[in-house]
Structure 1
Amino acid sequence: MLEIKDLNVFYGAIHALKGISLKVADGELVSLIGANGAGKTTTLHTISGLLTASSGSITLDGKNLQKVPANTIISLGLSHVPEGRHVFARMSVEENLRMGAYIIKDQRKIQENLEKVYAHFPRLKERSRQLAGTLSGGEQQMLATGRALMTDPKIVLMDEPSMGLSPILVKEIFAIIEELHKSGITILLVEQNAKMALAVSDRAYVLETGVISMEGPAAQLAADDRVRKAYLGA
């Protein structure tokens, strides 16, 4: 289980996260929704070790993530699909995926994980030799997600997976997220498309200017008038 307690993060004098707490249990899909600038990406970056909290705690299965360097945190079972995808444009699809397995030394295990990713994303297998920079936005999102799965992570952090995609591709990406969840993968999802996020999640948190303002079952939040008016266009 991932657990955050009383987390405070600053950008200089700006108090970006103000004592937030949240949990993600094994097998859950939990969403963190909110407006631009609410602190959603900051939360994920702090969990991943890309930012340092001034106070509070972050633990994964009881292990303190704040004492683990960002470049080795993946070894504890946490993978991050970044906002904007950040694929290696001049490398092939398969080379990108293998980069995701850089901590694994056993080549047989890498090949096994590669086949699992291709089972989730058949289109990536079809384009395994294609340069990542020539893929469509939706395919690059699949690649970034597949790369994060190459280490059999305990939990995957996903940051704005629908950003910049057409409505048809947004539906496709969320169908994939649902499939991954049903396969047993634990997911913490940051997403500005609150309607889609709540539709696929078990639970959700609403983040407003660095503060958790609401939390609960996703269906309950989706029916709440405050959430509907602020985030669902109702």
Structure 2
Amino acid sequence: MLEVHDLSVAYGVIEALKGISFAVEEGEIVSLIGANGAGKSTTLRTISGLLRAKGGRVAYKGKEIGKLPPYKIVELGVTQVPEGRRVFTRMSVLENLEMGAYTCRERGGVKAGLKRVFARFPRLAERKNQLAGTLSGGEQQMLAMGRALMSRPEILLLDEPSMGLAPLLVKEVFSIIKEINADGTTILLVEQNAHMALSISGRAYVLQTGEIILSGSASELMQHPEVKKAYLGD
């Protein structure tokens, strides 16, 4: 479904990604794990069209998307939930969700989308007229995910969904990610909480200073000595 081949990205003279390659099959949850600064967010931002690659290619369903603007990539079915949530703080919950539905062309599509999102996130329904900036961190994460789901993505790119959340809320958010996947949305997950990421993923890749150093099934990587030592605290 998604193929990244020999992808290189630089910020000036600093190489952020050094020719990485990986793939995501339809229906999977695939994680990219690694320390801060490994290139995880850069990878997602490049797939989304927010950054331009220096070399390599990104293909979605066999079609190269590396030179498309971000809104075109969303229209194809690839949507990102950004790191730090990035909700529109001075707009209501409802207005934030409506912003996520800008690709919707069907009559009644926005209304149907809101119904689906409110069924998935009842707390957002309760707070639909509240300003997004007054929500808790967990509620803002749910709003960012709900806003992304309004575009009916086929693949959802999640960037650090657990960041800044209390452990109980992290469990809730990851449970919701599993439900979204079970409903048919493919997930590419970037996450520093390697234990949580691997616990819900089928496969994973380990990024280190812009290179993929390990890959395999999530269960294999959970038992890998390097992963246990560096990311699982064992």
TM tier, smaller: over 0.9
* Cα distance in 2 between the residues matched to 1:114 and 1:223: 41
The aligned counterpart of 2:121 is 121
* Cα distance in 2 between the residues matched to 1:138 and 1:24: 27
SS in 2 for 1:171: helix
Q: Give the alignment of 1:100-179 within 5 angstroms.
A: 100-179=100-179
SS in 1 for 2:176: helix
The aligned counterpart of 2:180 is 180
How many residue pairs were aligned? 234
Q: Give the alignment of 1:62-73 within 5 angstroms.
A: 62-73=62-73
- Per-residue deviation at 1:52? 0.5
Q: What's the C-alpha RMSD, in Å, of the aligned pairs? A: 0.8
The aligned counterpart of 2:40 is 40
CA contact (8 A) 2:6 2:21 kept: yes
The aligned counterpart of 1:3 is 3
SS in 2 for 1:130: coil
Q: Give unmatched runs, 5+ long, in structure 1.
A: none
- Per-residue deviation at 1:107? 4.1
CA contact (8 A) 2:87 2:143 kept: yes
Give the alignment's TM-score, normalised by structure 2. Answer: 0.98
- Superposed CA deviations along residues 174-230 of structure 1, whole A, max 9, x for unmatched, are 111111111121010000000000000010000000000000110110111110000
Over the matched positions of the two proteins, sequence identity in percent amounts to 62
* Cα distance in 1 between the residues matched to 2:23 and 2:46: 15
Kindly provide the amino acid, as one letter, of the partner of residue 6 in structure 2: D
Q: Which runs of 4+ in 1 moved over 4 A?
A: none
SS in 1 for 2:206: strand
The aligned counterpart of 1:96 is 96
The aligned counterpart of 1:224 is 224
CA contact (8 A) 2:52 2:67 kept: no
Greater CA drift, 29-38 or 168-177: 168-177
* Cα distance in 2 between the residues matched to 1:71 and 1:180: 22
The aligned counterpart of 1:206 is 206
- Per-residue deviation at 1:164? 0.5
Kindly provide the amino acid, as one letter, of the partner of residue 185 in structure 2: I
The aligned counterpart of 2:12 is 12
SS in 1 for 2:59: strand
Kindly provide the amino acid, as one letter, of the partner of residue 191 in structure 1: E
* Cα distance in 1 between the residues matched to 2:87 and 2:13: 32
SS in 1 for 2:128: coil
Greater CA drift, 101-110 or 221-230: 101-110
* Cα distance in 1 between the residues matched to 2:158 and 2:168: 19
* Cα distance in 2 between the residues matched to 1:95 and 1:28: 31
- Per-residue deviation at 1:106? 2.9
Kindly provide the amino acid, as one letter, of the partner of residue 129 in structure 2: R
Kindly provide the amino acid, as one letter, of the partner of residue 47 in structure 2: I
Kindly provide the amino acid, as one letter, of the partner of residue 30 in structure 1: V
The aligned counterpart of 1:58 is 58
The aligned counterpart of 2:197 is 197
* Cα distance in 1 between the residues matched to 2:22 and 2:227: 18
Kindly provide the amino acid, as one letter, of the partner of residue 174 in structure 2: F
* Cα distance in 1 between the residues matched to 2:216 and 2:172: 26
- Per-residue deviation at 1:36? 0.3
* Cα distance in 2 between the residues matched to 1:74 and 1:180: 17
* Cα distance in 2 between the residues matched to 1:67 and 1:76: 13
- Per-residue deviation at 1:105? 3.0
The aligned counterpart of 1:25 is 25
The aligned counterpart of 2:215 is 215
